[in-house]
Amino acid sequence: MAQANPIQHPTQHVIQHVKQAFVAAIWLAFLTLPIMVIRVDTVEKTVTWRWMNLAYMALGSFVLALAWYCMMERRDQSQARKDLETVERDSALSRFLSDPRFAKPLMAFGLLVAAGFPWFFSMYQTNILVSALIYVVLGLGLNITVGLAGLLDLGYVAFYAVGAYTYALLNHHFQLGFWTVLPLGAVLGAFFGILLGFPVLRLRGDYLAIVTLGFGQIIRLVLENWSAFSFGPSGISNIDRPGLFGITYSVEQATTYMYYIMLALVLLTIFVTARLKDSRIGRAWLALREDEIACQAMGIDNTRAKLMAFSLGATLAALMGVVFAAKTTFINPASFTFMESAMILAIVVLGGMGSVLGVILGAFLLMLLPEYLRAFSEYRMLIFGFTMVLIMVFRPQGLVRAKRKVYKINVEQAG
Amino acid sequence: MGQGMNEATNRSAESAVLSVRNVSMNFGGLRALSEVDLDVRPGEVVALIGPNGAGKTTFFNCITGIYTPTGGEVTAYPRTGKPKRPEGIRINGMRTNLVCELGMARTFQNIRLFPSMTALENVMIGRHCRTKTGILGAVLRGAATRREEQEVVDKSFEMLTKVGLEKLANEYARNLPYGAQRRLEIARALATEPFLLLLDEPAAGMNPQETEELKQMVIRIREEFKVSVLLIEHDMKMVMSLSDRIYVMEYGRIISTGTPKQVGEDPQVIRAYLGEDSDA
Ligand SMILES: Nc1ncnc2c1ncn2[C@@H]1O[C@H](COP(=O)(O)OP(=O)(O)O)[C@@H](O)[C@H]1O
Ligand SMILES: [Mg+2]
């Protein structure tokens, strides 16, 4: 049974991995030779050969490669096991979170902490949390478009910008207040969502991603270059904070106020997305994601479903834009780069496409970790990228796998 | 073309639920269908047979709006649904979802379920075009929405029962065995309340026992739901015993039509199936 791989002896595997890792290490050492070993000093006109670096390089890459191959094997084995089972097993995390015995008290505790947060923690911490909450809503919004309806939108930040500039400009020119502009921003977001939705109705996958990416860039470029309209790269400052029945308040109180506004908006968004997910509309989105042709052949109007997903996602982004402008009191196009879109997408993918809980966790993880990793600020992006790659390889379904509702059927009544 | 065919088409035109006249379909230079005539009458099981690549699936795609035929007329005469139009509704070029809403539901040769949705949810998708909750209704979840949702669940579960999948209602479609997936597609199509059920090789990949069960199921469904069935199938035993009439297609043309007995004796069909030599 030499050809049947799964029954190979384990030591045979290890030897094979060592070989593979060795080859990889030699290659990497060879490739990095010019930069790691040879140093040419053009002033002194000397060449230094740092052979020790070569040894470090080879050893480091050997260890990493070996670890990688072993991890890959473990993954493949667990994959093979999973294929044999018909019942799917969830990760410990999602099993824990979906068990009502733990989930209920955990949720109550979370709410309690959330409600009292600004009173126990500093303004600095509260501010960070407000930012994280904004990304929770952005993530949940993009989750509708990407996670549920399967429309890969890489220009999501454009709608965020639409909301932010709507408030900033209306406030600057007409002194309109936060609470007036909030619904206006939402409507404008929905409008832009449909505006982008129409031309891309026929596109899917990569093509859709590229066009939406372009759309995001267009909005940013317009904001940067049309100075008469948007004040260009210098942005708009002195945007009013949210009004509170005409009461004036300090910056610290403003943070607390902002926090509670955001908390309410987060709860509202969770409520809305959770209800939509298991509704007629949510199911239509899922069907659209799973198989566009079958979806339409079963009587679903693809055009409507897509436009709804686009505009609802855009509405949430625009709402957050208004909040963002009011929170920072200053905006410029630099806040709305592709990096933001990528970050929000990373939240959705990391958390688990289509899973509300996963996206919330993803947002907190991706927004809070970098804040507290400031000590390693130089390596932040490196760690970030590395983590994303690892997660995509070993947990492609995200932290929490999206689960479908289990219906209890009253057999006597139905049968 | 046999003499019987023209007679049959003339007689049936006024009482058909689906009437196809002169339909052709070109893909660039390739003529996949040429001047196809076909009728399905109320309550009938009609089979469309022919060698691989004859154009059968293309025909399904043409009458369900996935392709717009290059020429010809496809007319539906819905028996169910509100707008009863005796003059018929022209459906070539109509959007796929509207064709389904009209009452023509299909299955696919290469199963196209929604894998990450449960079996029950797959069927619930079929109820989409018969229900109307919007975004606002779904978020507020008022009494009307809850009633409709309950109705969707009950009705969908009933459909699962009809195809014998009630025990697997909450399983993900991707985890169902092959035969169950095929039956789930039928349940999903039935949930749209069709007057015409279009089955594209439903028995493909099934063993003889499963095929026999499928046959009994189609008979039951026809009786109970009063639907007509248009069936593409390679299993001759099933086709011969199940269908009222058969159309034989080769190279995009209908080369023979009639009752199973007539078709079975048609020299053209024998030649198409056994090769040129047997003619001599
Ligand atoms: N979208 C398409 N583009 C080009 N050729 C096609 C397309 N769909 C089908 N065909 C061709 O039409 C012919 C009939 O195919 P099909 O309808 O799938 O046959 P059947 O279902 O009878 O086996 C084949 O030659 C196939 O290659
Ligand atoms: Mg076919």
Report the share of chain B in percent with pLDDT over 70.
90
Residues in contact with B165: Cβ distance below 8 Å, sequence separation at least 6, in sequence order:
B119, B176, B180, B183, B184, B187
Q: Which amino acid is at A181?
A: V
Shortest-distance Cα residue to atom 26 of ligand 1: B53
Shortest-distance Cα residue to atom 7 of ligand 1: B27
Q: Is the CB of B55 under 6 A from ligand 1?
A: yes
A256-270 pLDDT, tens digit per residue, is: 999 999 999 999 999
Please determine, for residue B69, whether its predicted confidence score (pLDDT) is greater than 90. yes
Q: Give buried/exposed letters for B82-91 (b at 16+ CB in 10 A, else e).
A: eeeeeebbeb
- Look at residue B128 and give its three-state secondary structure: helix
Q: How far is the CA of B31 from the centre of ligand 1 (A)?
A: 9
Which range (A37-41, A392-396, B223-227) has the least confidence? A392-396
Q: Is the CB of B32 under 6 A from ligand 1?
A: yes
Q: Which residues of chain B does A84 touch, with a Cβ-Cβ cutoff of 8 Å?
A: none
Which range (A156-165, A207-216, B115-124) has the least confidence? A207-216
Please determine, for residue A8, whether its predicted confidence score (pLDDT) is greater than 60. no
Interchain proximity A88–B175, CB inside 8 Å: yes
Residues in contact with B88: Cβ distance below 8 Å, sequence separation at least 6, in sequence order:
B19, B75, B76, B77
DSSP B173: G
Question: CA A122, CA A138: separation in Å to the nearest integer?
Answer: 25
Please determine, for residue B190, whether its predicted confidence score (pLDDT) is greater than 90. yes
Please determine, for residue B92, whether its predicted confidence score (pLDDT) is greater than 90. no
- Taking the CA of residue B256 and the nearest CA in chain A, the distance in Å comes to 29
Question: CA A129, CA A32: separation in Å to the nearest integer?
Answer: 42
Regarding predicted confidence, which is higher, A183 or A373? A183
Q: How far is the CA of B205 from the centre of ligand 1 (A)?
A: 20
Tokens encoding A206: 């990569």
Q: Is the CB of B56 under 6 A from ligand 1?
A: yes
Regarding predicted confidence, which is higher, B186 or A51? B186
Which range (A271-280, A288-297, B1-10) has the least confidence? B1-10
Contact predicate B102/B173, CB 8 Å? no
DSSP A249: -
To test the ligand 1 pocket, which listed residue (B30, B109, B247) has its Cβ within 8 A of the most ligand atoms? B30
- Look at residue B251 and give its three-state secondary structure: coil
Contact predicate A310/A152, CB 8 Å? no
Please determine, for residue A98, whether its predicted confidence score (pLDDT) is greater than 80. no
What ipTM describes this predicted complex?
0.90
Q: Which amino acid is at B45?
A: V
Q: Which amino acid is at B150?
A: Q
B75: nearest Cα among B66, B67, B62 = B62
In this predicted structure, what is the pLDDT of residue B64? 95
In this predicted structure, what is the pLDDT of residue A1? 40
Q: How many CB pairs below 8 A link A and B?
A: 131
Report the share of chain A in percent with pLDDT over 70.
91
Over residues B5-10, mean pLDDT: 44
Interchain proximity A299–B152, CB inside 8 Å: no
Please determine, for residue B107, whether its predicted confidence score (pLDDT) is greater than 80. yes
Over residues A12-30, mean pLDDT: 84
Contact predicate B84/B149, CB 8 Å? no
Structure confidence at residue A413 as a pLDDT band (50, 70, 90) = very low
In this predicted structure, what is the pLDDT of residue B275? 62
Which range (A13-17, A387-391, B1-5) has the least confidence? B1-5
Tokens encoding B185: 């597609």
- Taking the CA of residue A354 and the nearest CA in chain B, the distance in Å comes to 11
Which range (A97-101, A221-225, B39-43, B167-171) has the least confidence? A97-101
A22-72 pLDDT, tens digit per residue, is: 888 888 888 888 877 888 888 888 888 888 888 888 888 888 888 888 888
Interchain proximity B135–A308, CB inside 8 Å: yes
Average predicted confidence (pLDDT) for chain A = 85
- Taking the CA of residue A404 and the nearest CA in chain B, the distance in Å comes to 7
Interface residue of B121, B155, B175 to substitute, partner A, most A CBs within 10 Å: B121
Structure confidence at residue B84 as a pLDDT band (50, 70, 90) = low
B157: nearest Cα among B170, B142, B176 = B170
Interchain proximity B131–A280, CB inside 8 Å: yes
Phi-psi region of B72 (alpha: psi -120 to 50; beta: other; left: phi over 0): left
Please determine, for residue B277, whether its predicted confidence score (pLDDT) is greater than 70. no
Phi-psi region of A31 (alpha: psi -120 to 50; beta: other; left: phi over 0): alpha
B231: nearest Cα among B20, B46, B52 = B46
Which range (A100-104, A345-349, B103-107) has the least confidence? A100-104
Q: How far is the CA of B66 from the centre of ligand 2 (A)?
A: 14
- Look at residue A200 and give its three-state secondary structure: coil
Query: Computed from CA positions of residues A174, A175, A178, A179, in that sequence, does the dihedral angle turn out positive or negative?
Result: negative
Q: Which residues of chain B does A411 touch, with a Cβ-Cβ cutoff of 8 Å?
A: 166
Nearest CA in chain B to A312: B135
Highest mean pLDDT among A84-93, A337-346, B19-28: B19-28
In this predicted structure, what is the pLDDT of residue A2? 42
Contact predicate A292/A163, CB 8 Å? no
Q: How far is the CA of B202 from the centre of ligand 2 (A)?
A: 11
In this predicted structure, what is the pLDDT of residue B195? 93
Q: Is A338 exposed, middle or buried (0-12, 13-18, 19+ CB in 10 A)?
A: middle
Over residues B227-248, mean pLDDT: 93
Over residues A299-319, mean pLDDT: 95
A163-177 pLDDT, tens digit per residue, is: 999 999 999 999 888
Tokens encoding A175: 């002194």
Please determine, for residue B17, whether its predicted confidence score (pLDDT) is greater than 60. yes
Over residues A222-233, mean pLDDT: 88
Please state, in angstroms and as integers, the Cα–Cα distance from residue A289 to each residue in A87, B173, B175, following that order.
Answer: 23, 15, 18
Q: Is the CB of B189 under 6 A from ligand 1?
A: no
